[in-house]
């Protein structure tokens, strides 16, 4: 996978914000690895390649470690 950053003005119609991290899926990549890094499929612009993912802004907590 190739990870790259993009700077752009905010465009809420295409879910594009001022600074974002993207991932381009390559042929040998496993989707599990992409999701484990926090990337989700980018669907803001349907004309883009379907193998582009964006880094979700959020937090992931392993709840089993809190029990």
Q: With 0.75 as the threshold, say if the pTM is over it.
A: no
Q: Where along the chain do its domains lie?
A: 2-65
Arithmetic mean of pLDDT, 45-66: 78
Provide DSSP, the chain. -EEEEEE---BTTTTB-SEEEEEE--TT--HHHHHHTTEEE--S-TTS-TTEEEE--S----GGGT-
- Name the band, by pLDDT with cuts 50, 70 and 90, for residue 44: low
Residues contacting 30, CB < 8 A, separation 6+: none
Q: What is the pLDDT of residues 3-30, one digit of tens each?
A: 888 776 777 776 666 678 888 888 877 8
Q: Provide the pLDDT for residue 32.
A: 86
């Amino acid at each position: 996978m190739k990870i790259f950053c993009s700077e752009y003005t905010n465009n809420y119609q295409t879910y594009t914000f001022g600074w974002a991290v993207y991932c381009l899926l390559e042929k040998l990549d496993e989707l599990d690895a992409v999701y484990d890094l926090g990337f989700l499929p980018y669907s803001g612009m349907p004309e883009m390649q379907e193998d582009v993912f964006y880094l979700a802004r959020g937090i992931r907590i392993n709840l089993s470690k809190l029990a």
